Amino acid sequence: MSSPVSVRSDRAVPDWLAGLLGLSRVPREGEAVTAHGRTLVLRDGVLREPGAASPAQAQTSGVFGFKWQQRASFESAASLARMRAWLLERYGDPREAAWLAKAGGVTVVLDAGCGAGMSVLEFFAPVFDRIRYIGTDISAAVDVARLRFAERGIEAGFIQADLHALPFPPGSIDVIFAEGVLHHTDSTERALARLAALLKPGGWFLFYVYRRKGPIREFTDDFIRARLRDMEPEAAWAALRPLTQLGQSLGELGIELEVKEPVDLLGIPAGRIDLQRFFYWHVLKAFYRPDLTVEEMHHINFDWYAPVNAHRQSPEEVRRWCAASGLAILHERVEEAGITVIARKPDDGSADR
């Protein structure tokens, strides 16, 4: 594994990020600056854009700001190993990726919706010495991400802003990483288009979005989400705990059932399936893995149910949106849970690598 880049303790904002933002110098703590038409204030080492969000986006931001503060619910070795394995399975080894700059080069990576940096710290760990990382998030989770990067001695820049209005000029970013984020905005389609415009010709877009489920699961998801939407995050966290315990109980039963014929009306396929997984895919999301703690499983359930903005989409919609944004899909993985895409903005009028 490559050695991490040392943090510049005297620079809350890296010089290269200030340059990318069009600033003549690194701003001082508390100073307001204008970057490509957006006003940013440096506070606690993070450039922040004051601004109003829609009610749905504000609620979603509050939920994730709270969730990522619960570090004990996602930082165990088992939880991080699960995340790392899932990322590598879907995106491949970053050390061998076509989007990574060759020897001597540096790739600018924009993490659109970084949260606490959980995904990116696991996925990009071997290549941080070859990238310039920018983490952006609309929520206070960006502060947790900055702390976790600093704890590991990795230089990075952080911006708290709405990803629909990031302070970068068009065609300025090499790679955009949006792992489970676009569907948490007011519009998945609009978020995809806004971010795609920031890519350089030949730039890469790696993202994952939720896939639409069967009718019972969709109804249950929306019903629970509506019950939680007016609660404070702490109350929603507590209200969901019995659901997490139900998932654990179902999983510990270890019972299989056989669906003898597909129930096409409800989108349920034929075959043998564990009872907990049947509930998970076709009735309600009550996550279970025997190697995770109850708190870690609870974190996953809260992530799904608590935010108002949690749009689900079809593969056909995602393909259409990519085409409309000028992105050529080079890799697509469609699963029951979601859709993973590696796309590129062609630099020569073709979709070839």
Strands 199-210 and 173-179: what pairing? Answer: parallel
Is the pLDDT at 350 greater than 80, yes or no? no
62-99: b (≥16 Cβ within 10 Å) or e: bbbbbbbebeebbeeeebeebbbebbeebbeebeeeeb
> pLDDT at position 103, please?
64
Domain that holds residue 131: 15-212+312-344
Is the pLDDT at 348 greater than 90, yes or no? no
> pLDDT at position 51, please?
78
User: Are 301 and 243 spatial neighbours (Cβ–Cβ below 8 Å)?
Assistant: yes
Among 2-6, 204-208, 266-270, 283-287, the range scoring the smallest mean pLDDT is 2-6
Rounded-to-integer distance, Cα 188 and Cα 60, Å: 14
pLDDT band at 12 (very low <50, low <70, confident <90, very high): confident
Tokens representing 186? 């007011």
State percent of the chain over pLDDT 90: 91
> pLDDT at position 349, please?
53
Angle (CA) 122-85-187 rounded to 5° is 70
Whether residue 52 is found in the same domain as residue 117: yes
> pLDDT at position 101, please?
81
> In a 3-state reduction of DSSP, which class is residue 57?
helix
Give the mean model confidence (pLDDT) for residues 324-349: 94
Is 1 part of a structural domain of the chain? Answer: no
> pLDDT at position 50, please?
83
**CATH code of residue 135:** 3.40.50.150
Paired with 116 in beta bridges are none
Q: Cα 144 to the chain's mean position, in Å?
A: 15
> pLDDT at position 352, please?
44
Mean pLDDT, the chain, whole residue set? 93
Whether residue 148 is found in the same domain as residue 41: yes
User: Are 284 and 268 spatial neighbours (Cβ–Cβ below 8 Å)?
Assistant: no
pLDDT digits (tens, 9 = 90+) for 208-254: 999 999 999 999 999 999 999 999 999 999 999 999 999 999 999 99
Whether residue 70 is found in the same domain as residue 174: yes
Rounded-to-integer distance, Cα 284 and Cα 177, Å: 28
Tokens representing 170? 């068009």
Is 350 part of a structural domain of the chain? Answer: no
Whether residue 62 is found in the same domain as residue 141: yes
Is 134 part of a structural domain of the chain? Answer: yes
Is 232 part of a structural domain of the chain? Answer: yes
Give the mean model confidence (pLDDT) for residues 341-349: 87
Angle (CA) 116-222-314 rounded to 5° is 80
pLDDT band at 53 (very low <50, low <70, confident <90, very high): confident
Tokens representing 345? 């903005």
Whether residue 201 is found in the same domain as residue 225: no
* 322 backbone φψ class: left, alpha, beta (φ>0; ψ -120 to 50): alpha
Tokens representing 162? 């709405």
Q: Which residue has the higher pLDDT, 133 or 106?
A: 133
Kindly calculate the radius of gyration of the chain based on its CA atoms and give it in whole angstroms.
21
> pLDDT at position 6, please?
36
The structural domain count of the chain equals: 2
Q: Give the containing element (helix H, strand E) for 288.
A: none
Is the pLDDT at 27 greater than 60, yes or no? yes
pLDDT band at 52 (very low <50, low <70, confident <90, very high): low
Whether residue 166 is found in the same domain as residue 272: no
Q: What are phi and psi of 157, to 5 degrees?
A: -115, 145
Is the pLDDT at 351 greater than 80, yes or no? no
Is 8 part of a structural domain of the chain? Answer: no
Closest CA to 211 of 116, 339, 349: 339
Whether residue 288 is found in the same domain as residue 184: no
Is 60 part of a structural domain of the chain? Answer: yes
Is the pLDDT at 9 greater than 50, yes or no? no
State percent of the chain over pLDDT 70: 94
> pLDDT at position 157, please?
97
Rounded-to-integer distance, Cα 1 and Cα 52, Å: 42
Whether residue 336 is found in the same domain as residue 239: no
Q: Tell me the residue type at 159.
A: I
Is the pLDDT at 287 greater than 60, yes or no? yes
Whether residue 206 is found in the same domain as residue 224: no
Whether residue 40 is found in the same domain as residue 165: yes
Is 6 part of a structural domain of the chain? Answer: no
Q: Residue 181: how many CB atoms within 10 A of its CB?
A: 25
> pLDDT at position 114, please?
97
Rounded-to-integer distance, Cα 345 and Cα 333, Å: 19
Rounded-to-integer distance, Cα 189 and Cα 183, Å: 9
Whether residue 78 is found in the same domain as residue 200: yes
> pLDDT at position 102, please?
72
Whether residue 67 is found in the same domain as residue 136: yes
pLDDT digits (tens, 9 = 90+) for 138-177: 999 999 999 999 999 999 999 999 999 999 999 999 999 9
Among 25-34, 92-101, 103-112, 151-160, the range scoring the smallest mean pLDDT is 103-112
